[in-house]
Structure 1
């Protein structure tokens, strides 16, 4: 029996970034879902139950901090792993997201696809 693909929800308001990430992660064997707003992310997380959410912090209307807070308060979403990826590289932001329940933090300007995949696999406890 074939192993089920791990489902990743990318929450990113910049379409070019989400498309690049989706294409690369699909090549690594992940099933990828896209959301461009915080509200869409919460709705898709509830409906589709991804294994992991890659969450941008700076988005219009509902930011990533609000999304993370709502996810971790919801009985159906609180166990879903979240990796924050953002251009906010301040130690205080990284610490805050960890305290809120994020599994890891990636600074966008420094990220490589291999680092993203490595962190996803580490968080999900799987190997490529």
Structure 2
């Protein structure tokens, strides 16, 4: 089964998403901030990253920039779904310009919706 990195600083949200993904059989890794996310991403090479944008240490936009500029094409092209409470058109466009596969506003999506989007992206 695919390996997914969940990058989320809010414990309750992270636990909900991780539980849903684990129950669907995914190999789930976690990170609570941007710096930790980059370390786990490099060492684990996940198939997909669920990425929050507002986090301590380093925000999700900077994480995306560093991911996309990695010299290893396998890592640089990791699929990413943004999972954030930022919902302005400017924020969404900024993330889309960093080659994401999806943008979900946390307040509007259930863990089941998130799982559905993960499955959709991984099937492409």
- TM-score, reference length from structure 1: 0.91
Alignment pair present for 1:7 and 2:6: no
- How far did residue 112 of structure 1 move? 1.2
- How far did residue 40 of structure 1 move? 0.6
Instruction: For structure 2, list consecutive stretches of 5 or more residues without a partner in the other structure.
Output: none
RMSD: 1.1
Count of matched residue positions in the alignment of Structure 1 and Structure 2: 122
Between 1:90-99 and 1:64-73, the stretch displaced more is 90-99
CA offsets per residue over residues 56-90 of structure 1, 9 Å max, x none? 00001200000000000003321110000100011
3-state SS in 1 of match to 2:62 = helix
> What is the alpha-carbon distance in structure 1 between the residues aligned to residue 68 and residue 54 of structure 2?
18
Q: Which structure 1 residue ranges, 4+ long, deviate > 3 Å from structure 2?
A: none
3-state SS in 2 of match to 1:100 = coil
Instruction: For structure 1, list consecutive stretches of 5 or more residues without a partner in the other structure.
Output: none
